[in-house]
Structure 1
Amino acid sequence: MAVTTRLTWKEEKSLQKLLGHASLTLLYKSSVHGYSIENMLQRCTYQGSTITLIYTKNNIFGAFILGHYPKIGEKSESLDSSFCFSLQKKDNTIEIPTFPFNRVPEITANRLAFYFCDYTLFCLNTELKQIVIVYRLEDKAFTTPKRFHYLECEVFRVEGIKDDSCYVRRVTRVTQHREHLLAELRAYKPSTCLIPEIRILMLGPVGSGKSTFINSVKSVFQGHVIRQAIAGSDITSITEQYRIYSIKDGKDGISLPFMLCDSPGLEEKEEAGLCIDDISHILKGCIPDRYQLNPQKPITPSHSTFITSPSLKERIHCVAYVLDVNSVNHLPCKMVKKFKRVQKEVLHLGIAHVALLTKVDNWDEILQDDFLNMNRSMTYESQIMHVSKMLNIPISNILMVGNYASECELNPLKDVLILSVLRQMLRATDDFLEDLPLE
């Protein structure tokens, strides 16, 4: 009979993501193979990198070790890129706070202890079936030792992870930074009480990735890849309606105070794609959600659904010009002229604006090691300069992203890039709001 883990499918997926989508193979399960350290080591030494999990009644504590499992009596030498963690369920999501340990775990006949310098983080006593917690991961603080009886101990071999300390530090730090960005965006509030929700309009050629970016943002907050906004790559626009998408935090979560607005793609021909006259009305907040746009018949104030006196909260507060990074240097002259006409109207209305370059291939290299800034990659230098000159946008407001176009699973690095782009859009919008006349 196969030995199975106590982890739920969702918990196992969260651990795999933490390690850059590595796979886990169960080596040891105390209730099956015996609770002694000797039984554990027989199955876990010389197996490469491992994750050790200890289950208590209410929590799961764990440790990742880069490299082989230590042996009894092994010298406590320094260790790099290993860390302890706990799995915490919160609002239908799983959070994994981590903390590094920098010494080889100490193993005796019935004890397994993890250290940071000379400080014990937690230790396992197999004789008493107890775990002693000294370091509280939730608030990153040492505490009075807490003793818990554990129900199970499991050890997994981690497969598919690079034996590279720099790589491990990066993939584990990115998960922490992802959680930091999510917390910041969940706590975001517009800089003026006159606007309860920010509206960001996605504008760009057909197939540039407007709808896909909206889906990507929604996916990160939902915790899985979704395809709500209709996206495609036809030569004519698949999106025909003007849509306003709210961003919900989790499946049954509240709507966050920013919305992403989708529109048909711009096309070279005047009688095709999104009409310039309709763009002006969208920017001013005159067109309602789900309005069926017709490139040959722009909306007029006499239309029954036309919003004649839109409030400030119904207006567009930021425009994101969405462009395929691979074709931006070869935009047809007619398309460039359309963009300049749109930009003229955006500037006339004083609306915040950024450029979003999509379909970036080396998105994992764009983020600097501290994840705080984006590298201005030499690969895309000509595209960035071209967009800056074409739309008169400062380079700091030209953003790059890799969307979830065909993937089935989320990737923490891609999540961080998507969230960083969204945060930059909101910051640009706040600058616009603070510059509004007092009246």
Structure 2
Amino acid sequence: MAVATRLTWSEQKSLEKMLGNVSLRLLYKSSVHERDIRSMNEKCTRQGPTVTIIYVGNFVLGVFMLGDHPEEHNNFKTVNPSFYFSFQKNAITAMKTAVLETETKINSGQLVCYSSGQEVFSVHPGESSFSVDDSLRNTLGTYLRSGSKYSECEVFHVDGIEDDINYISKITGATKHRDSLLVELGTYKPCVDFVSEIRILLLGPIGSGKSSFINSVKSVFQGRLTRQARVGSDVTSITEQYRIYPIKDGRHGKYLPFRLCDSMGLHEKEGVGLCMEDIPYILKGCMPDRYQLNPSRPITLSHPNFIASPSLKDRIHCVAYVLDINSINDLSSKMVAKFQQIQKEVLSYDTACVLLLTKATNCGEFLQGNFSNMDKPMTFQSRIMDASKMLNIPIYNTFVAENYTSEWELDPIKDTQILFVLRQMLRVAEDFFEDLP
């Protein structure tokens, strides 16, 4: 009979997602296997990174160890970052965490974690007891005292992590930075009272990732992957309507004060893709949501839903040109000329603009220590400069993102990157308001 964890399905998925979309496989369960260190070692040593969890009443306390589970007669153990966490059952969203440089040993029948030479956490399988240092206990917000009994101990193998000693700091750092950005954007308000929401228009070639970016932003705020905007890679545009997408904060259920506007993809041929004559009407705010776009016939003033007298809140406040970072040098001269023509139109309306380069595949490079390198990964420097020069958009308004496309779960690193780009777009849009008479 298969051995099952006490974690609920949602708790295990949340923990796997928090650790970087890993997968957890149960190795040891004290109520099924023998309650001693020998049995634990037989199941867990030489299995690679592990997560050890104990259950105390309604409380869960655990540690993710990057290195191998220690062996009983091997006192040599390298120091690796370890990720400690705690939460109450059915309340994993309120998880408390801590990262410590940890040396792990087997000592007197116990699994013991040391930090700076001091014991911070231990599990005694033979006595079903544990201890936790006062400082760590306070950080994790637990009331549990050393020597307390646990009802269950489980050890999981962690599969799918990078072979990188900085892995834990990257993942936990990304999670903290993502949560900080979510709070900042969740409480965002436009800098002027006469505009209730910022409108950002995405323009780019067919298949460049406009709709995927919208889906990615919506997914991060919903806390799950969602694909409301249709995406595809057909030679003709999948998007056939002009859409104004609201962004809902899934945590609080409120709509946030910014909108992402999607349109038909651009094409180098006339009569294919977004009609150039439609762009001024979109910029001015004359085009209604869900307008059926026609590549060969622009909207007319006689259309029943045409917005004849748009206000400042109806117009586009920022244009984001979207390009596939891997295809910049493959753009034809006709497509480049079309972009430059659009850019002249955008500038004539004094509309702010940014450049968004999508389909970057090594998003981990964006997170360097203090997250100062999220917008300029070194791998793509030459392509960024080429795109910036082509559209005459400053480097400081050029950003790189990796959208969610075929994934099933969210990734904290990718979330952080997407939220960072969105925040910068809003800041550029606010510069637009500063220039208003």
TM-score bracket relative to the smaller structure: 0.7 to 0.9
User: Equivalent residue for 1:169?
Assistant: 169
Structure 1 residues 125, 435: closer, same or farther in 2, change over 3 A?
Answer: farther
Please say if residues 54 and 154 of structure 2, whose CA atoms lie closer than 8 Å, have aligned partners that are also in contact. yes
Shift of 1:376: 3.6
User: Equivalent residue for 2:93?
Assistant: 94
**2: CA distance, partners of 1:373 / 1:188:** 23
Shift of 1:86: 2.4
User: Equivalent residue for 1:418?
Assistant: 418
Shift of 1:232: 1.4
1:182 is aligned to 2:182 = yes
Shift of 1:371: 2.5
Tell me the SS of whatever aligns to 1:63.
strand
- Aligned pairs (5 A) from 1:368-407: 368-374=368-374, 376-377=376-377, 379-407=379-407
**2: CA distance, partners of 1:378 / 1:158:** 30
Shift of 1:241: 0.7
Please say if residues 63 and 82 of structure 1, whose CA atoms lie closer than 8 Å, have aligned partners that are also in contact. yes
User: Equivalent residue for 1:24?
Assistant: 24
**1: CA distance, partners of 2:153 / 2:71:** 17
Shift of 1:140: 4.2
**2: CA distance, partners of 1:140 / 1:129:** 20
Shift of 1:209: 1.1
Please give the root-mean-square deviation of Cα atoms over the aligned residues, in Å.
3.2
User: Equivalent residue for 2:271?
Assistant: 271
Structure 1 residues 143, 10: closer, same or farther in 2, change over 3 A?
Answer: closer
Shift of 1:402: 1.6
- Aligned pairs (5 A) from 1:26-425: 26-37=26-37, 39-70=39-70, 79-87=79-87, 94=93, 96-105=95-104, 109=108, 114-117=113-116, 121-124=120-123, 127=127, 129=129, 134-135=134-135, 140=139, 146=145, 150-250=150-250, 253-374=253-374, 376-377=376-377, 379-425=379-425
**2: CA distance, partners of 1:364 / 1:164:** 11
Please say if residues 358 and 403 of structure 1, whose CA atoms lie closer than 8 Å, have aligned partners that are also in contact. yes
TM-score if structure 1 supplies the norm length? 0.87
Shift of 1:111: 5.7
Structure 1 residues 397, 87: closer, same or farther in 2, change over 3 A?
Answer: farther
**1: CA distance, partners of 2:19 / 2:336:** 43
User: Letter of the aligned partner of 2:397 in structure 1?
Assistant: N
Shift of 1:322: 0.6
Shift of 1:304: 1.7
Tell me the SS of whatever aligns to 2:354.
strand
Instruction: Figure out how many residues of one structure are paired with residues of the other and give that number.
Output: 435
Structure 1 residues 271, 42: closer, same or farther in 2, change over 3 A?
Answer: closer
**1: CA distance, partners of 2:399 / 2:354:** 7
Structure 1 gaps, min length 5:
none
Tell me the SS of whatever aligns to 2:166.
helix
Structure 2 gaps, min length 5:
none
Deviates more, 1:332-341 or 1:196-205: 332-341
Shift of 1:219: 1.9
**1: CA distance, partners of 2:358 / 2:68:** 41
Shift of 1:409: 2.9
**2: CA distance, partners of 1:200 / 1:401:** 16
Structure 1 residues 44, 205: closer, same or farther in 2, change over 3 A?
Answer: closer
Deviates more, 1:300-309 or 1:15-24: 15-24
Please say if residues 201 and 319 of structure 1, whose CA atoms lie closer than 8 Å, have aligned partners that are also in contact. yes
**2: CA distance, partners of 1:230 / 1:324:** 17
Tell me the SS of whatever aligns to 1:408.
coil
Structure 1 residues 272, 102: closer, same or farther in 2, change over 3 A?
Answer: closer
User: Letter of the aligned partner of 2:242 in structure 1?
Assistant: Y
Please say if residues 135 and 143 of structure 1, whose CA atoms lie closer than 8 Å, have aligned partners that are also in contact. no
Structure 1 residues 181, 109: closer, same or farther in 2, change over 3 A?
Answer: same
**2: CA distance, partners of 1:389 / 1:164:** 36
Q: What do the CA deviations read for 1:119-170 (whole angstroms, capped 9, x no partner)?
A: 6655556637566573468x84888865775432211122343454133432
Please say if residues 101 and 114 of structure 1, whose CA atoms lie closer than 8 Å, have aligned partners that are also in contact. no
Please say if residues 70 and 77 of structure 2, whose CA atoms lie closer than 8 Å, have aligned partners that are also in contact. no
Please say if residues 212 and 229 of structure 1, whose CA atoms lie closer than 8 Å, have aligned partners that are also in contact. yes
Shift of 1:358: 1.4
Deviates more, 1:378-387 or 1:339-348: 378-387
**2: CA distance, partners of 1:46 / 1:382:** 43
**2: CA distance, partners of 1:333 / 1:317:** 28
User: Letter of the aligned partner of 2:101 in structure 1?
Assistant: N
Structure 1 residues 102, 384: closer, same or farther in 2, change over 3 A?
Answer: closer
Shift of 1:295: 2.8
Shift of 1:36: 4.5
**1: CA distance, partners of 2:303 / 2:111:** 74
Deviates more, 1:373-382 or 1:411-420: 373-382
Please say if residues 105 and 114 of structure 1, whose CA atoms lie closer than 8 Å, have aligned partners that are also in contact. yes
User: Letter of the aligned partner of 1:202 in structure 2?
Assistant: L
Please say if residues 123 and 131 of structure 2, whose CA atoms lie closer than 8 Å, have aligned partners that are also in contact. yes
